[in-house]
Structure 1
């Protein structure tokens, strides 16, 4: 279950990584019709999807 609680995350990334994030946010903005898309929303989505993939791989390894 997702919580609406927010945590401030301050990180340093390379300029190239930041530019890639801007490109991803622009892509989301063009292809997701739910209003304004924020970098935090995109990062949360990427982390959630990566976590799901990781959990599936872990469960396969245990089988």
Structure 2
């Protein structure tokens, strides 16, 4: 468990988005040996990876100028 302070996000998403998240959580559960996988952990992982990609793109874009 991460020692960072956690906040609760209450969001509304479409049924199809919720179904996709369920599918992704199931995929993570099947392909990880860490035990139980939670939606919040999957969302955190997705957001962190997306943020890393964004930061790399920002560096690449800054080099162009």
TM superposition score normalised by structure 1: 0.94
Partner of 2:61: 61
Whether 2:4 is the aligned partner of 1:7: answer: no
Partner of 1:28: 28
Query: How large is the Cα RMSD of the aligned pairs?
Result: 1.2
Output the CA distance in 1 between the equivalents of 2:11 and 2:49. Answer: 20
TM superposition score normalised by structure 2: 0.92
Query: Could you list the runs of 4 or more consecutive aligned residues of structure 1 that deviate by over 6 angstroms after TM superposition?
Result: none
Output the CA distance in 2 between the equivalents of 1:5 and 1:18. Answer: 25
Long gaps (5+) in structure 1: none
